[in-house]
Structure 1
Amino acid sequence: MDQIIRIGMDTSKSVFQLHGVNAAEQPVLRRKMRRKEMVDFFTKCPPTVIAIEACGASHHWARLLTSLGHEVRMIAPQLAKPYVKRGKNDAADAEALCEAMSRPTMRFVPVKSMEEQAALMLVNMRERLVRAQTQLSNAIRGHAGEFGLTVAKGLRHIRPLLECIAADDKLPVIARELFASMAAEFERLQDQIKELDSKLLDWHRSNEVSRRLATIPGVGPIGAALLVMKTPAPELFASGRQFAAWMGLTPKDHSTGGKVRIGVITRAGDEMLRKTLVVGATSVLNTVRAGRGKEVAPWLTELVKHKPPKLAAVAFANKIARIAWKVMTSGETYRKPAAQPATACAS
């Protein structure tokens, strides 16, 4: 009865806490190990099922343990948290993972390959550079405003502003030097973002699923690449609504006693992916409001007319997520809605 049937492992940079149970659900393993000890232990351990909390380095450990003959199941932190009995420590977390893994309805995170993680590194680095570019442009605008120099909104106006500052002899020398330094930094960020955009576009063109997703209105190459990279496995979701809920685009439900209370969207899931879909939806809706939308579904026109802009954008992003799930799971290409037949005039 002392044979271990499953192990919950709480990971960190150098310390690993293990909690294992036997067939009678009795704890038979409670150990804290250093990194090398943990690897040696699982090298000698008979093949078993191991639960790890999904985090930054969990995919590396999952690949390593799988290569040693074990079966690894990664659990999202929010799904393992309810099984922590009391307190917060490594031992309690490892026990909670071991317990959560045994639940028949538990959902697991697929293990990413090194190539998939490299692609995610590409989009994360681009996001970091875009944030730095936005922060720098705001700093340039703020400092320029202190000298009475202002321009319209948009990144395309930053370079003309810097050129105007460089040509202004009335500014103090130290201010012109600092603006020149910020101009050099701005150009460097622009070049780095262009380089990453080129690599991201090459990845998008080489991926068949990403190319199909880009045909959906409001998605585009970057949104399509994010959907492919960040979606764990489309077939794990039972429906498009469940996929949209995983992304945090469905209303928060807090109902009890037969009283239905629907709140704002949950904002669960990946923030970058959700933000990208909402921005894409906003762009499409802006073209519809301007009367430039071609072959637009009638329900989308009604949505723009009767709902506030932000609410309409989130609702459309929810629709995009559902369509994307269908495209990914079915292997089909997005088809534009058929034109509505003209109604005959009453005589």
Structure 2
Amino acid sequence: MDELHIVGIDLAKQTFHLHGAKQDGTVLFRKKLPRAQMTKFFDQLEPCTIAMEACATAHFWGREMEELGHVVRLIPPRYVKPFVKRQKNDSNDAEAIVEAALRPTMRFVSVKSPDQQSLAVVYRSRDLLVRQRTQLVNALRAHLAEFGVVTGKGIIQVKKLAAIIEGEDCPLPDTVRGVGVIYLEQIGQLTDQIQGLEVTIRKSARLDAVSVQLQKIPGVGPIGVMALEAFAPPMQCFQSGRSFAAWLGLVPQQHSTGGKAKYGRASKMGQADIRRHLVAGAMSVIHWAKSRGFAGNTWLERLVGRKPTMVAAIALANKMARTIWAMLSTGEEYRMGGVAAA
């Protein structure tokens, strides 16, 4: 296989499909390998390019292949789909991965380190627990509403619900009260677990110098910094701060044709977790500025004055993303001004 240039792998749990090709795309082999033989097979190959979809277990196999001396290319699955020919099966998927990887303008995903994936596990676990707690709170509110007990939204309403359920003059039937106590116990356990993970996140954020610097940006907190460290590639992958903001989906969606530029809402086509934290942080900055004053930040004051709050938050989040790119690319510290100085 002296002419072997690239191998596409359709990842799976136990059985993997491989597609080997020359640099011009000529097919050299198609194979199906069990999981136990993967490392042995690629260890015997001369160093070449290994292409995979950036899906589950891709980063693990990417690190394994890099240790064997191969060059790894991870491709977003949506960029592979157009290259699938007719019937969709594992063999055709592996061929489509090779076709996509050979495109000169294809965009690739950086292989994550074990430390990055460890941060992602902590972040995803906290996010899952928060969603489970929200489901329990909403379910409890819905059950009690059937008996005339209506409360507002949010975790803060749990105290009111607990006071009603555990009160001596509770208007609820005994069966409903018993179920309500179960809900409250589950919500309390999840709250303790969430707080424990948040303590871990804050401790790690205080120990890392880069995290400390990024948290000087108004609206950026320890959980947002963890999302950046876990999911963002090295800033050297982006040519400018605008490219980073576009990767996050914080730029307008384009519908341009015939030389006429048409822009719509935010594209939301990038990394959702980082974008969500930046937008939430921008909203908090805007609400704080509205109540306390803009403190000389004329750009934000003019923006809020002529645009809806959410549109202004997207624009501010875009600016925050560019600031993050500049700080991480140059090592420069954040220069406080405007709302931050106040």
Same fold at TM > 0.5: yes
Matched, 1:300 2:287: no
**TM-score, L = length of structure 1:** 0.91
1:242, 1:169 → 2: CA distance? Answer: 57
| Superposed displacement of residue 2, structure 1 | 5.5
Cα distance in 1, alignment partners of residues 279 and 82 from structure 2: 31
Q: Does 1:37 align with 2:37?
A: yes
Q: Which amino acid aligns with 1:67?
A: E
1:1-347 pair list within 5 angstroms: 3-167=3-167, 168-290=169-291, 292-293=292-293, 295-337=295-337
The two structures have a TM-score, normalised by structure 2, of 0.93
Shift of 1:325: 1.1
| Aligned AA (1:232) | P
Secondary structure of the corresponding residue to residue 148 of structure 2: coil
Are 1:17 and 1:32, in contact at CA under 8 Å, matched by a contact in 2?
Answer: yes
How far off is 1:51 after superposition?
0.8
| Structure 1 CA distance for aligned equivalents of residues 55 and 23 of structure 2 | 28
Instruction: Between 15-24 and 83-92, report the one with greater CA deviation.
Output: 83-92
Task: Give the superposition deviation at 1:338.
Answer: 6.8
Letter in 2 for 1:92: N
**Cα offsets for 1:268-302 (capped at 9, x unmatched):** 12222211111111111111222x14535211011
How far apart are the structure 1 equivalents of 2:74 and 2:278? 26
Separation of aligned partners in 2, 1:208 and 1:222: 15
Q: Indicate the residue corresponding to 1:342 in structure 2.
A: none
Number of aligned residue pairs? 338
Provide structure 1 residue ranges, at least 5 long, that are not aligned to the other structure. Answer: 340-347
Query: C-alpha separation between the residues in 2 aligned to 1:209 and 1:102?
Result: 36
CA distance in 2, matches of 1:325, 1:78: 26
AA aligned opposite 1:177: G
Once residues 39 and 122 of structure 1 are traced to their aligned partners in structure 2, the CA distance between those partners, rounded to angstroms, is 29
**Which deviates more, 267-276 or 101-110?**
101-110
Gaps of 5+ in 2: none
What percent of counterpart residues are identical? 43
CA offset at residue 123 of structure 1?
A: 0.3
**Alignment CA distance shift 1:56-1:208 (3 Å):** farther
Residue 218 of structure 2: SS of its match in structure 1? coil
Q: CA deviation at 1:69?
A: 2.3
Structure 1 residues 25 and 204: CA distance shift in structure 2, 3 A: same
Alpha-carbon shift at residue 152 of structure 1 (Å): 4.0
Aligned-residue offset at 1:243: 0.7
Q: 1:338 to 1:153 in 2, by over 3 A?
A: closer
User: Does the 8 A contact of 2:294 with 2:300 survive in 1?
Assistant: no
SS of the residue corresponding to residue 147 of structure 1 reads coil
Q: Displacement of 1:3 after TM fit? A: 2.6
C-alpha contact 1:209 1:228 (8 A) present in aligned 2 = no
SS at match of 2:186: helix
Deviation at 1:59, TM superposition (A): 0.7
1:233 and 1:78 map into 2 onto residues whose CA distance is: 22
8 Å CA contact retained: 2:53, 2:74: yes
Report the AA paired with residue 178 of structure 2.
E
CA contact (8 A) 1:253 1:261 kept: yes
Cα 1:293/1:119, change in 2 over 3 Å: farther
Contact 1:54 1:76 in 2 (8 A): yes
Deviation at 1:85, TM superposition (A): 4.0
**CA RMSD, 1 decimal:** 1.9
Change in 2 beyond 3 A, CA 1:24/1:193: closer
Q: Which amino acid aligns with 2:107?
A: R
Q: Are 2:296 and 2:338, in contact at CA under 8 Å, matched by a contact in 1?
A: no
Q: Which moved more, 1:144-153 or 1:274-283?
A: 144-153
User: Structure 2: which amino acid aligns with 1:65?
Assistant: M
Tell me how far apart the structure 1 counterparts of residues 210 and 69 of structure 2 sit (CA, whole Å): 31
